[in-house]
Amino acid sequence: MSFAWAKPYEPKSGFMRWIDERLPLPRLVYGAVGGGYPVPRNLNYWWNFGVLAGLFLTIQIVTGIVLAMWYYSSADGAFNSVEHIMRDVNAGWALRYIHMNGASFFFIVTYIHIFRGLYYGSYKAPRELVWMLGLVIYLLMMATAFMGYVLPWGQMSYWGAQVITGFFSAFPLVGEPIRVWLLGGYAPDQAALTRFFSLHYLLPFVIAAVVILHIWALHIPGSGNPTGVDVKDEKDTLPFHPFYTAKDGWAAAAFLTVFALFVYFAPNYMGHPDNYIPANPLATPAHIVPEWYFWPFYAILRAFTVDFILPAKLWGVLAMFASILILFFLPWLDKSPVRSGSYRPVFKRFYWLLIADILILGWCGGAAATPIYVAVSQLAAAYYFAHFLIILPLVSAFERPLPLPDSISSSRLHGEKAEAAPAGITPRRGATTTAG
Amino acid sequence: MLRFILGFIGAVFSLVLLISFFSNVSTFLTSPPEQTAEEEFHKHPKHLALASDGPMGHFDRQQLQRGFQVYKEVCAACHGLSLVAFRDLEALGYNEAEVKAIADQWATEVPTTNPETGEAATRKAIPSDRFPSPYANEVAARAANNNALPPDLSLMTKARHDGAAYVYSLLTGYQKQQPAELLEKFPAAKTPQGLYYNPYFANLNLAMPPPLTSDGQVTYAAGNPAPTVDQMAKDVSAFLVWTAEPKLERRHATGLAVVVFLLFATILGYLAYRNIWYGEKAVVRKTGILDPENQAKAARAKRKAGVKG
């Protein structure tokens, strides 16, 4: 699709030719994830997480469909139907724990995928739409995960729904009617549970559709790479299959091993004990906390404690939404022509500062809102906004990047990992590297 | 222009956050939050080692049976076990006839409808029944317990931090007297009438009277450890681990098989990857076992060591 030297599809059998002439689906697959998609040869393991995210989306959809055969979306029966799955459905405990931990792992791989993009400048031209579609997927994931967490109708489910839909009531005038409209009542109840279930079943398929757009948009310029320089000729690329299918294959097996350790040996490690208590509208849990993947945003929400012109709650809600929405503008905030963080010494420092900042926000968001944690999250949240909206544009204007390699295949000469270069044109064993 | 607008938004958010920060810090300095009795006297659960702990943990069926006996003779008076069925007890090592007898002799009967008059009635439990709740409904439960509601125990060890250790600590943690230090420092935190002081409970005072009060309260069958309060608390905690996670052993066994399978797949996948990339990567060739130079080196080493083949 993307490069002149991309191999066209050649049917291997009469049957495939028959299909291909009538419906060129084999051609499409071959060009998308087969031998017909040339990929830069120097991708490192951070590039595996896109495929892993697709894998976890599949795991979630498959286990979710089976769970939905047993799940009962009624305020009286939902909690017990989940326990029925855990106790009496054949391998129901495995399905449920895979789905429950699968959500967390879907976020883990997606976060790694996003932060890989942030470091290597994957959001820059000509891949802006790839980045923005990715953010749409992320927003859909958050909505899906939130609604899924409500379904077991435990204490955290119920109170989480109460708090999150409560965000809308922060907006003056229209807020409260919107909240009531979303919930189908004044508090989460049967109406809310049923519609959350319906949407929780729908949204993953919407995600799958946006994933297709994400990959389509990616395949126009082709994949980025750790040096950030454009592909120049055939020497710079390898066909996706078998080279990257093999690399993704073993990485997927390795990552699934880690996943299995959680599913089978620590299935409740990432959950909250309160969600094993049936929902009770009359008893508020001591600390309402969302799942770990929302902690940084929860910390931003709680960081606003002063009614400065606007009420503190409205500030918090605006900032929380803004914290994601600003990422849509990233391609225009960072105007440095150099994509890869490896060649941007100043950017690189701020990048790691941002990672530390988000980890601190997450840590504060998961803790009880004591004055110390709130104070730390206030500074960390201020840095978060300053990083994207002030520091990054300034850095990209004033930074002097390191010299870029001429091409991917010659990048070895500039101290890249040996893997970057094709074997044929690199000095082999015994030759001293000219890496500097 | 866009950058200026966004930069302005960023500056506003950061500014409001800094104002919040300074007001937060100044409040903290001028009127530091007062310590509460809970913060100072609430204790973390004691250590409890059970056979079900750890990645390959399993159930000690003898202990589960003792724990079930404690539940039956002590806890069941007030606490339900609504997610567990009598038939599930077979997993504890009881046979079908024993389970039938346990269900039949259960102190609380199962609510039903009289088939002739249509009036509410009760009948004896059968193995397929779940454990009947000791109270007809929440109002009855509260009325009998000084307005406190005894929670269902089915999921208790998953519904509290530190699960079984928490249950064990709570059962053995009652103190007749509040510490003098506590009363001195927080006179308002005196245990109210009808509650019991227990430092392992989140707010220190608990409506449940100490359920295990004396050694030998439950009589264990011969061959079991002496039924001290400590032992009974341990046993019932172990039993509640089973009620909360009856598939634990199955999960561990499956997990071992799955992890071994996946490790095998990882190794094969890795070798396939090295093999496929062999011609394309200098670094793979330099360290790979398929490299002709490496193979020659291996052959030399074998010859030297006198190994055939």
* A308 close contact with B: CB closer than 8 A: yes
Q: How many CB atoms lie within 10 A of CB A204?
A: 19
- A49-70 and A245-265 are packed helices; what angle lies between their axes, rounded to 10 degrees? 40
Mean pLDDT of A238-243: 93
Inter-chain touch A264–B255, beta carbons under 8 Å: yes
Chains A, B: CB contacts within 8 A come to 184
- CA A81, A84, A85: angle at the middle one, nearest 5? 90
- CA A294, A299, A301: angle at the middle one, nearest 5? 95
d(CA A426, CA A360): 43
Instruction: Say if residues A126 and A339 touch (Cβ distance below 8 Å).
Output: no
pLDDT of B3 above 90:
no
Query: Would you state the pLDDT for residue B287?
Result: 63
pLDDT of B273 above 50:
yes
C-alpha distances in Å from residue A353, one per residue of A47, A111, A388: 22, 16, 12
C-alpha distances in Å from residue A222, one per residue of A114, A380, B97: 17, 36, 69
Looking from the CA of B306 toward its CB, the CA atoms found within 13 Å total 0
Query: Would you state the pLDDT for residue B299?
Result: 84
Inter-chain touch B276–A242, beta carbons under 8 Å: yes
Of B244, B258, B285, the CB nearest to A260: B258
Q: Under 8 Å CB-to-CB from A309, ≥6 apart: which residues?
A: none
d(CA A326, CA A115): 15
Inter-chain touch A253–B251, beta carbons under 8 Å: no
d(CA A219, CA A38): 9
Instruction: Say if residues A395 and A346 touch (Cβ distance below 8 Å).
Output: yes
**Alpha-helical regions (H) of chain B:** 2-30, 37-41, 61-73, 96-104, 138-144, 163-172, 180-185, 229-244, 248-277, 282-287, 292-305
Query: Would you state the pLDDT for residue A414?
Result: 45
ipTM of the complex: 0.89
d(CA A384, CA A358): 8
d(CA A384, CA A373): 16
Instruction: Say if residues B290 and B278 touch (Cβ distance below 8 Å).
Output: yes
pLDDT of A424 above 60:
no
pLDDT of A66 above 50:
yes
Q: Under 8 Å CB-to-CB from A277, ≥6 apart: which residues?
A: A154, A155, B151, B155, B159
Sign of the dihedral through C-alpha A166, A167, A171, A174: negative
d(CA B133, CA B76): 8
Mean pLDDT of B74-101: 96
Confidence of residue A433 (pLDDT cuts 50, 70, 90): very low
- What is the pLDDT of chain A when averaged over all its residues? 91
Residues of A in contact with B276 (CB under 8 A): 242-243, 246
Mean pLDDT of A408-432: 50
Q: What is the pLDDT of residues B147-188, one digit of tens each?
A: 999 999 999 999 999 999 999 999 999 998 898 888 888 888
Question: What pairing do the DSSP bridges indicate for beta strands A237-239 and B205-206?
Answer: unpaired
Percent of chain A scoring above 90 in pLDDT? 85
Chosen from B2, B9, B12, B13 to mutate, greatest number of chain A CBs within 10 A: B13
C-alpha distances in Å from residue A223, one per residue of A2, A110, A135: 10, 17, 17
Query: Would you state the pLDDT for residue B289?
Result: 63
Q: What is the pTM of this model?
A: 0.92
pLDDT of A432 above 90:
no
pLDDT of A204 above 60:
yes
d(CA A129, CA A143): 21
User: H or E segment at B196?
Assistant: strand B196-197
Name the least confident of A128-132, A222-226, B14-18, B187-191.
B187-191
**Looking at the annotation, which residues of A are catalytic?**
219, 223, 247-248, 291
Q: For residue A236, give the nearest of B72, B144, B280 by alpha carbon.
A: B280
Instruction: Say if residues B75 and B211 touch (Cβ distance below 8 Å).
Output: yes
Query: Would you state the pLDDT for residue A425?
Result: 44
What are B77's two structure tokens? 């008076």
d(CA A278, CA A78): 9
Percent of chain B scoring above 90 in pLDDT? 74
Looking from the CA of B208 toward its CB, the CA atoms found within 13 Å total 22
The B residues from 104 to 143 touching A (CB cutoff 8 Å) are none
Q: For residue A388, give the nearest of B214, B229, B11 by alpha carbon.
A: B11
Query: Would you state the pLDDT for residue A423?
Result: 47
Sign of the dihedral through C-alpha A19, A20, A24, A27: positive
Query: Would you state the pLDDT for residue B309?
Result: 59
Q: Under 8 Å CB-to-CB from A317, ≥6 apart: which residues?
A: A167, A170, A171, A301
Confidence of residue B79 (pLDDT cuts 50, 70, 90): very high
Question: What pairing do the DSSP bridges indicate for beta strands B205-206 and B196-197?
Answer: antiparallel
* A322 close contact with B: CB closer than 8 A: yes
Inter-chain touch B10–A326, beta carbons under 8 Å: yes
Mean pLDDT of A58-75: 97
pLDDT of B292 above 80:
no
State the nearest Cα–Cα gap between A75 and chain B, in angstroms. Answer: 17
Mean pLDDT of A415-424: 49
* A359 close contact with B: CB closer than 8 A: no
| CA closest to B255 among chain A residues | A264
Of A254, A277, A390, the CB nearest to B10: A390
Q: What is the pLDDT of residues A368-401, one digit of tens each?
A: 888 899 999 999 999 999 999 999 999 999 999 9
Q: Which 3 state secondary structure label does DSSP give B120?
A: strand
pLDDT of A412 above 80:
no
C-alpha distances in Å from residue B257, one per residue of B2, B140, B249: 56, 48, 13
Inter-chain touch A375–B28, beta carbons under 8 Å: yes
Residues of A in contact with B160 (CB under 8 A): 273
Residues of A in contact with B250 (CB under 8 A): 93
Mean pLDDT of A314-339: 95
